[in-house]
Amino acid sequence: MGTYLVGILKDTPMLSVIGVAELMHAASAMGSENYHYLEPFTLVGLIFLLISLPTAGLLRLFERRLRLALVLLSQKVADAGDSRWSRIC
Q: At what angle do helices 20-34 and 38-88 cross, to 10 degrees?
A: 160
Cα gap 56→71, rounded to integer Å:
22
- Can you say how many angstroms the Cα of residue 56 is from the centroid of all Cα atoms in its chain? 4
Torsion of CA 63, 68, 69, 74, to 10 degrees: 130
As a whole number of angstroms, the distance between CA 51 and CA 46 comes to 9
Task: Please write the tens of the pLDDT for every residue from 14-46.
Answer: 544 566 777 888 899 999 998 989 999 999 889
pLDDT digits (tens, 9 = 90+) for 37-70: 999 999 988 988 887 788 788 888 988 999 999 8
